[in-house]
Amino acid sequence: MSSDQTQETANHPTTPEAATAAAAAAATAAAAAATAAATAADAANSAATTAATASAATAAPQTAASPLLTAAPKLDPLFPGNIFVSTVLDALNSKKTMTGNLVSKYMQRAIMAGLFVGIFFTAFFVISATFAAAGPGMALAGKVLGACTFGWALVLIYYTNSELLTSNMMIVSIGVYHHRIGALRSLYILGLCLIGNLIGGLIVAILMRGATIISGDVFTIMSTAVATKTGYLAQGMPGIIDLFVRGIFCNFCINIAMLMCYNGKLVNDFTKCIIMMVAVFVFAYLGFEHSVADSVLFLIMGLFGVGDPLTEVAAIIVVILGNFVGGGLLIGINFAVMNDQHHHGHGHGHNGDRHNIGRR
C-alpha cells in the first residue's frame, strides 16, 4: 500500500456504521441485478412463446388440411395419364429386378396371388350353391353375393403386392411400348408369373381335395362350370370366338380398375377397394373368363376326376390370348399411346424420348 493510501486510510478510518451501510448498498445492488435478470428471462420466455404460437398458427392450416398432403398431384391437362404410365413403369422396374436377382421372392408373390384367386373363386361357387339350394328365388342373390366376395381376391393381391398374370400383361405392354423392356423379357416375366399362379392354385386344389368343402351342391355347380368353360371349344369357331371375347372383357375390367388405382387421382384406400371389387363383380357376374381363375378351377376339379386336361389347356390358351388383348392392348398399349406427349403430333421422330418416362 502506498504512503498516500495509508495516510488517507488514517484520515478516514472505517467505522461499523459505514461498513453496515456499504453492505446494505451492495445487497441492494445485487437484488436490483437479480430483478433485472429475471425480467430479461421473462421477456425471453415471452418472445419464445410468441414465436411458437406464431409458428403453430402458421402450421395450423397445414395440419387442419393434412389430408391434402396425400392428395392427388396436379395432372397435365392434355396428358393426365402420365402419372399412371410413370407408376406402371416404376412397378415394371421392380418386376425386372425381382425376376433377375430375386426370382424366388417373385415366385412367392405369384404363388400368393394364385392362393387368393383359388380361395375366393371357390367361395364364389360355395356362396352361389348355398343360396341356390335355399330356394328358387335365391339363386340370383347368391350369384351377386358370390361375385362381390370374389372381388376381394383382387383387393388382397393389390395390397399384398402379389403378382397376378392378368395385371402384369398391362404392365409389360406399357414397358414394351416405352422401350423399357424387350418382348422376350416380358414373356419371361409373364411365364414366371403364370407358373407361380398355377402353383398357388394347385396348393388350394390339394387342400380342397382333403376337405369336404367341395361336395354336394358345390361339387355340382363347379362341375357345371368346368363343362361350360370347356364346352365353348366343342362349338367350333363361334365358341372359340365367344371364349376369346369373354377373355378380352374380363381383363379389360381388371386393368381398368388397376388404371384407376395407379393414375394418381385416387388416394383413398376405401375407394380403391370398391373400384377393384366392382371390376371383379362385373366379370364374375357376366361370366367373363379369367385365365388364372379358370386354371385354378380346372386344377381343383381335376383332382376330383372332373374334366379333360387337353381340352382345358386349349381353353386356357384361348382365354390367355383374350386376356392379353383386354389388358395388354386395350388398356396397356392404348393408354400408353394416349398419354405419350413426346410422340404426340411428331410422327416417330421422338420415340427415343419415351425412354425417360417413369425414370426417377
203-232 burial string, b = 16+ CB within 10 Å, else e? bbbeebeeeeebeeebbebbbebbeebbeb
| Contact between residue 158 and residue 276 where contact means Cβ atoms under 8 Å apart | yes
pLDDT at residue 340, rounded to an integer? 79
pLDDT at residue 57, rounded to an integer? 41
**Alpha carbon of 170 to those of 100, 141, 213, 245, 256: distances in Å?**
20, 33, 34, 17, 10
From first to last of its 360 residues, the chain has per-residue pLDDT tens of 444 444 444 444 444 444 445 444 555 555 555 555 555 555 555 554 444 444 444 443 433 333 334 455 555 555 556 788 989 999 999 999 999 989 999 999 999 999 999 999 999 999 999 999 998 889 999 999 999 999 999 999 999 999 999 999 999 999 999 999 999 999 999 999 999 999 999 999 999 999 999 999 999 999 999 999 999 999 999 999 999 999 999 999 999 999 999 988 888 899 999 999 999 999 999 999 999 999 999 999 999 999 999 999 999 999 999 999 999 999 999 999 988 777 655 444 444 445 455 443
pLDDT at residue 20, rounded to an integer? 46
pLDDT at residue 359, rounded to an integer? 45
pTM, rounded to two decimals:
0.75
Residue whose C-alpha is closest to residue 283's, from 314, 256, 321, 313 = 256
pLDDT at residue 23, rounded to an integer? 47
The string of DSSP codes covering 167-226 is HHHHHHHHHHHTTSS-HHHHHHHHHHHHHHHHHHHHHHHHHHHTSSSS-THHHHHHHHHH
Residue range 82-356, CATH number: 1.20.1080.10
Residue 121 CB partners (closer than 8 Å, separation 6+) = 150, 153, 293, 296, 297
3-state secondary structure of 79: coil
Q: What type of residue is 228?
A: T
